[in-house]
């Protein structure tokens, strides 16, 4: 095999040159610590501009887990419940961080007929809630993930509908946007349309998966949550003394639509791979595409032994068990890479 093709995770990708260059430039000279610097100031203005919200506030944090857990703990009282999809990263893959920072707030996983939540999913959860009963955690926050952990993208209308059902019962709405750029690029909507205009109060904004070096962020559209986050980020050890190096990454990321251009490359590569998988499925090659690869991630069931042959052919992907593999493209997956991956997959399928 001449060159492996990386489809394990977008976290395996490198750094976008524009972002690396911005970090290098910020390394000249000195600046006030803990976010009192010009880059952090510029980032705040940039986020207000990009999200078209004049009270938006950005809190750089080091991981998506920190963004989710700190945002949700600021939104939910300790006696509250955060409703999320059963597949949600906050529930499945963050080792209880939200409950720890939330002082005991619980996560309640809901099932839908796909990886999305729908108004009916929430209504069923509400019907199954003992409201005003102090023996039971009270639903206070809805946490949505877009793209979902299975790679599907809510349309703006779908997201607004489920957010509206939540708000109708007094819940606030959090969006895990670990791959928000991929969703916005896939929909061709504005960042505002998929967030606060659709009823979202607080966003976990991913950047590391899509070209940043070492930062994600919380974007809050709610003044009360923003005030909480000032102190909660500090207590959690997420107010970096050299915050300017995170802020400069996020500022470069959001400048001149870089984040959307990077995401489009990843999405376009996945579209090529997904089309080939669909074609293989329709000609009865034993492939089953699970869910909707709307952005940069696909889950596929392959004939037994194929995953091993794929690895031998230099296509790196995660085996999820039960002959299912996860394929994820990134801003580094070029069109030739995607076509090469398709060739190798077709060969591995025999």
Q: Which stretches of the chain bind ligand PLP, using CB under 6 A?
A: 63-65, 68, 89, 145, 149, 176, 178
Question: Minimum Å distance from CB 166 to ligand PLP?
Answer: 19
- Smallest separation, CB 73 to ligand PLP (Å): 15
Of 215 and 306, the one with the shorter C-beta distance to ligand PLP is 215
d(CA 225, CA 230): 9
b/e per residue, 200-228, with b = 16+ CB within 10 A?
A: bbbbbbbbbbbbbbbbbbbbbbbeebbeb
Tokens 């390394």 sit on residue: 27
CA distance 259 to 67: 18
What is the rounded CA–CA span in Å between residue 313 and residue 325? 15
User: Least distance from C-beta 215 to ligand PLP, angstroms?
Assistant: 10
* Residue nearer to ligand PLP on the CB measure, 65 or 265: 65
What gap in Å lies between CA 270 and CA 267, rounded to an integer? 5
Give the residue with the Cβ less far from ligand PLP, 23 or 203.
Answer: 203
Q: How far is the CB of 269 from ligand PLP (least distance, A)?
A: 18
Q: How far is the CB of 7 from ligand PLP (least distance, A)?
A: 15
**Any residues with CB less than 8 A from the CB of 117 and at least 6 apart, and which?**
83, 84, 85, 110, 142, 144, 162
CB of 325 to ligand PLP, least distance (A): 16
Tokens of 302: 């392959």
Q: How far apart are the first and last CA of the chain?
A: 17
Dist. CA 168–CA 134, nearest whole Å: 21
Name which of 37 and 149 has its Cβ closer to ligand PLP.
149
Q: Which is nearer to ligand PLP, 149 or 158 (CB)?
A: 149
Looking at the Cβ atoms of 65 and 247, the one nearer to ligand PLP is: 65
Residue closest to ligand PLP, measured at CB: 64
Return d(Cα 184, Cα 176) in angstroms, integer: 13
């Amino acid at each position: 095999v001449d060159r492996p093709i990386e489809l394990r995770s977008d976290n395996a990708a490198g750094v976008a040159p524009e972002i690396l260059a911005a970090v290098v430039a910020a390394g000249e000279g000195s600046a006030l610590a803990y976010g009192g610097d010009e880059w952090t100031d510029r980032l705040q203005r940039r986020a207000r501009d990009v999200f078209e919200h004049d009270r938006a506030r950005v809190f750089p944090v080091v991981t998506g887990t920190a963004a989710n857990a700190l945002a949700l703990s600021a939104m939910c009282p300790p006696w509250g419940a955060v409703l999320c999809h059963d597949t949600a990263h906050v529930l499945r893959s963050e080792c209880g961080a939200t409950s720890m920072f939330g002082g005991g707030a619980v996560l309640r996983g809901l099932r839908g007929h796909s990886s999305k939540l729908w108004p009916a999913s929430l209504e069923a959860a509400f019907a199954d809630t003992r409201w005003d009963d102090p023996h039971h955690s009270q639903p206070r926050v809805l946490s949505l993930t877009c793209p979902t952990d299975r790679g599907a993208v809510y349309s703006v209308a779908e997201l607004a509908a489920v957010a509206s059902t939540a708000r109708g019962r007094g819940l606030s709405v959090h969006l895990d946007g670990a791959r928000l750029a991929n969703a916005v690029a896939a929909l061709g909507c504005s960042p505002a349309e998929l967030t606060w205009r659709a009823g979202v109060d607080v966003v976990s904004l991913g950047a590391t998966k899509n070209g940043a070096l070492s930062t994600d962020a919380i974007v809050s559209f709610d003044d009360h949550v923003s005030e909480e986050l000032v102190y909660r980020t500090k207590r959690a050890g997420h107010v970096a003394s050299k915050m300017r190096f995170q802020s400069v990454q996020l500022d470069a990321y959001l400048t001149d639509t870089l984040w959307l251009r990077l995401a489009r490359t990843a999405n376009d590569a996945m579209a090529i791979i997904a089309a080939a998988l669909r074609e293989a499925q329709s000609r009865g090659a034993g492939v089953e595409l699970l869910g909707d690869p709307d952005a940069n991630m696909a889950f596929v069931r392959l004939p037994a032994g194929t995953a091993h042959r794929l690895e031998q052919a230099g296509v790196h992907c995660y085996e999820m068990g039960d002959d299912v593999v996860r394929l994820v493209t990134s801003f580094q997956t070029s069109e030739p890479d995607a076509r090469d991956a398709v060739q190798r997959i077709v060969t591995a399928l025999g």
